[in-house]
Structure formats: C-alpha cells, structure tokens
Amino acid sequence: MTATDSPHVLVRNEGRAGFLTLNRPKAINALTHAMVRRIDEALTAWEGDPAIETVVIQGAGERGLCAGGDIRAIHDDARAGGRATIDFWRDEYRLNARIARYPKPYVAFMDGIVMGGGIGVSAHGSVRLVTERSRLAMPETGIGFVPDVGGTYLLSRAPGELGTHLALTGAQAGAADALLTGLADHFVPSHELPRLAEELTRAPAHEAVRRFAQPAPPGELAARREWIDACYAAETVEAVIDRLIDSGVPEAKETATTLLGRSPVALKTTLAALRRARHLGSLEAVLNMEFRLSCAALSSADLVEGIRAQVVDKDRDPHWSPPTLAEVTDEAVARYFEPAGAPEPFSA
C-alpha cells in the first residue's frame, strides 16, 4: 500500500458528486499525512472530470467530521527532533488553500466535532454546513500551539473581536456561533444529512442545500459580543485579561481564568498572528506565516508539554515555559515569525 492508498479516506463517485469520507472514527477522523495526500489526489481527479459537479467531505462514525491533526504523531516527532511533521504541515496547508480555490462546489458536512485540521479541510470550502451537533474550535493555545490551517485567516476576519476570543480561548462554537463568525454558511439538521447527500448526487449543490437549510438554534456569542469586542480590542494579552477581570461580567471573568491556564507564549504569539493576518492579503500569505509559527512551535517546550498533558498522560496539568505572560518577551514572540529554514508551502 502506498502513502496515497490510505484506507483512512474513502473515495467514491455517485452521480454528480464525489464523496470523501474521513475514516478514522476511533480517533474522530484525525488527519494523517497519507490522508492529506489522498484528499489532494481525489480533488485532482475530480477537477478534470466533467461528470463530477460537486465534492462532499464528511466524517465516519458518530463523533464528528475531524478532531484535527494526529497530535500524538506530532508529539512523538517533536520529541525525536524529526522533520516528518514539517512535511505534513506543508502539504496540509497547500491542501487548505486548494480547497479555498477549488473550482467546483466543495460541500463540508461539519457535523459533530470539527477542530484544528478539521477546520482546515472544511471551513475553507464554498458550502459549509453545520448541525445541532456541531462543535467547531481552534483549541491550539491549550497545547502550546498556535491556530494554523488558515485558522488565523478565518478568525481574523470574524466580526469584531469574536475570532480573537475563539482563537485565544479555544472555545467551541455551536451552529449559530459558527454562522455568526463566518466559519459556516448554512444550518441543516443532522438527521437530514443522508438525504441531502443523496440529493447532491443528482442536483446542483446550491439548489440541494437550499431545500434542506433551516434557521439555526440560538447561539451564545451574539449576546456576549459587547464585552468580547471591548475586552479583546486591547493591544496585549495582559491588557485583554485585565479588561475581562474588570468588566463586571461573570462570564468575562471566567474567560480570564481560562486564558490564564493557556500557554503564555502561545497566547502572545496567537494574538500577534491574528493582528498580522488581518493585513495579509491572501490565504496563502497567512498560511506561509502559520508555517513559520508551526515550525517554531515544533521545537518549543510548550508543544510537547501541552500534548503530553492533554492527550498522552491526560493529567490536564501542563507546566508551561515560561510559566507567566510577563516572562514572554517581545523578542521571544518575534522569533516565531522568522523564516523556518524549510521550504514554505507557497514560495515566491
């Protein structure tokens, strides 16, 4: 079996549609390098096939579309000082951009858990569907990492400071909040997805989706927008936390406690990345920036420690280095943005 013959991506054609099913249900369909390559291969084949009008991506099992990249593999590679993760990220980020530019409707069934790399293979699509079970998140600061796969591009373009809130806290967004922040386009009840998939085999994507789309149940972020915008507009993470604590809003104070448990260097780097992403003109430029950040994080203590605490040992007690925001210097953050010393996904 070659790397691109991954059994973890099921590829099939039916009628007008090509279906990609991420098939690692026990791992909530976490992405591997072979899976990224297989998706890319299928997109190449379908792009030139006039019989395929629509591409659909979905997840096997009941838990979600995709929980992200295989962070256990990243942890092991980082500990060994390897390069496999860098090669994975380069191909993954190229795939993210390809999805955003794909010339045919790319319909993402964002049902259940959709996090990290799962956002990358869905939220850049042209038709993004959420359900009452959807839980979208970029939880990277909790493992000493920075939102990638174009996450800083998407979140920096959310209304007000909602994207900053989601990026720094790693909070999960349900259907209505995903729609509000621009991470999704339509709400479709989960029990209707099989019927919609069948309809996509014979009808144009936008017509089919329009027949199944419904108003989403109420979310949470709209009611919190006032304090989120006010607090996260601060120039530094320390100032954001001070505003949250001083806001007089109980939910804001709880959010400050959440942030104080995240990796200090990841928080500061994420805020800087979001501010830069707002002014970078293209998704590809942002992905190149994220590639530098990811490569820097791979050699940092916090990424290994964060994955250990959350996934390997599961003690939920990471020991960050440095342990406080005050000890993270501007120079330390700036180093994350320096060229990675490896070919970037989109070279000039």
Catalytic one of 18, 59, 68, 69? 69
- The answer to whether residue 170 is catalytic is no
Which residues are CB-contacts of 153 (< 8 A; sequence separation ≥ 6)? 277, 280, 283, 286, 287
- The answer to whether residue 69 is catalytic is yes
Q: Note whether 20 and 9 are within 8 A (CB).
A: yes
Catalytic one of 53, 70, 148, 290? 148
- The answer to whether residue 140 is catalytic is yes
Give the count of beta carbons closer than 10 Å to the beta carbon of residue 223.
11
At CA 316, angle to CA 314 and CA 318, rounded to 5? 110
Q: List the one residue out of 196, 195, 161, 197 whose CA is nearest residue 181.
A: 161
Catalytic one of 140, 161, 199, 344? 140
Q: Note whether 166 and 158 are within 8 A (CB).
A: yes
Which residues are CB-contacts of 216 (< 8 A; sequence separation ≥ 6)? 130, 175, 176, 179, 187
CA dihedral of residues 315, 320, 326, 328 (deg, nearest 10): -150
Query: What phi and psi values does residue 56 have, to the nearest 5 degrees?
Result: -125, 130
Catalytic one of 59, 117, 118, 125? 117
Catalytic residues: 69, 117, 140, 148
